[in-house]
């Protein structure tokens, strides 16, 4: 089970814009190590889903369409890729039969339904503001100090 790259990088793009207030495609591409084409595709989806506003002109770029506290991670994930498990999964199985051999009594279906419910619960309670706060804490933790990544005192032995 995993989230798609589109979901991961879409969230990262929103975090970048939330941290900076606004950002351009080249800035986000550079900071996230993505091609400008891929970044533009992600930002287009996020704009169409009304998470972002685009600004034209020489000071153009993207900014959040609403406060980070009002952007729920679950909504972003749904816009970028959907759910980990949905009821139609059994109808789209990759087996040789036209329908799943276990469609009547599937021991695994309840497991995936419970996993999806747990994921839905978690991501419906996390906002972009939470992710931005985490990003700021991480940046502070790894901020260079005295030329070192981390200043950790080491006891000298005798």
Domain chopping of the chain, boundaries = 5-129
CB 84, CB 115: distance < 8 Å: yes
* CATH classification code of 5-129: 1.10.10.10
Q: In sequence order, which residues have a C-beta less than 8 Å from that of residue 14 and are 6 or more positions away?
A: 46, 51, 52, 64, 71, 76, 128, 131
Provide the β-strand partners of residue 72.
Answer: 127
Q: What is the DSSP letter of 106?
A: -
- The values of phi and psi at residue 149, to 5°, are -65, -50
CB 34, CB 9: distance < 8 Å: yes
- The values of phi and psi at residue 142, to 5°, are -100, 10
Report how far residue 17's alpha carbon sits from residue 27's, in angstroms, rounded to the nearest whole number: 10
pTM for this model (two decimals)? 0.79
Q: In sequence order, which residues have a C-beta less than 8 Å from that of residue 45 and are 6 or more positions away?
A: 6, 10, 79, 80
Q: What is the DSSP letter of 145?
A: B
Least confident among 31-40, 76-85, 86-95: 86-95
Least confident among 35-44, 99-108, 136-145, 146-155: 146-155
Q: Is residue 79 over pLDDT 80?
A: yes
Spatial CA neighbour of 131 closest among 34, 14, 23 = 14
**What pLDDT, in 10s, does the model give residues 99-117?**
666 666 777 878 888 988 9
- The values of phi and psi at residue 115, to 5°, are -60, -45
Q: What is the CA radius of gyration of the chain?
A: 21
């Amino acid at each position: 089970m995993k989230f798609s790259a589109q979901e991961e990088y879409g969230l990262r793009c929103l975090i970048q814009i939330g941290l900076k207030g606004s950002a351009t495609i080249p800035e986000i591409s550079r900071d996230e190590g993505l091609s400008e084409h891929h970044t533009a595709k992600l930002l287009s989806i996020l704009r169409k889903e009304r998470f972002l506003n685009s600004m034209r002109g020489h000071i153009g770029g993207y900014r959040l369409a609403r406060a980070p506290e009002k952007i729920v991670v679950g909504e972003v994930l749904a816009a970028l890729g959907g759910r980990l498990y949905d009821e139609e999964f059994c109808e789209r199985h990759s087996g040789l039969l036209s329908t799943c051999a276990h469609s009547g009594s599937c021991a695994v279906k309840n497991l995936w339904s419970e996993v999806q419910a747990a994921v839905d619960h978690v991501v419906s309670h996390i906002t972009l503001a939470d992710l931005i706060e985490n990003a700021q804490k991480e940046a502070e933790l790894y901020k260079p100090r005295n030329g070192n990544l981390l200043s950790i005192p080491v006891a000298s032995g005798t």
